[in-house]
Amino acid sequence: MPLDPAQRHQIEQDTITAGWEAARLAACDPAISLLREIADLERDDDAYVIIATDADGQSNLMSRITASLAMHDQ
């Protein structure tokens, strides 16, 4: 039995939403991994996280956070 246009439209919208949700959930794994790394970092006397940088002022962790945010920013 063929679907009426409203049913077809709803199925298409549900498929788009499911794809969007799957992409957002897939982005959670790397974000959780980064947050766990941050939670394990050294803290100063005021309990602020210390994110170390190299001699050039670069931070691998901050670069990865920035890249992750840019990749998943929608």
The pLDDT value recorded for residue 16 is 93
Q: How confident is the model at residue 72 (pLDDT cuts 50, 70, 90)?
A: low
Q: What is the 3-state secondary structure (H, E, C) of 35-57?
A: HHHHHCCCECCCCCECCCCCCCC
Residue 69 has pLDDT above 80, yes or no: no
Domain that holds residue 18: 5-72
Question: What mean pLDDT value characterizes the chain?
Answer: 81
Q: How far apart are CA 52 and CA 10, in angstroms?
A: 50
Q: pLDDT for 24-34, tens place per residue? A: 888 778 878 88
Number of domains in the chain: 1
CA triplet 54, 67, 18: central angle to 5 degrees? Answer: 155
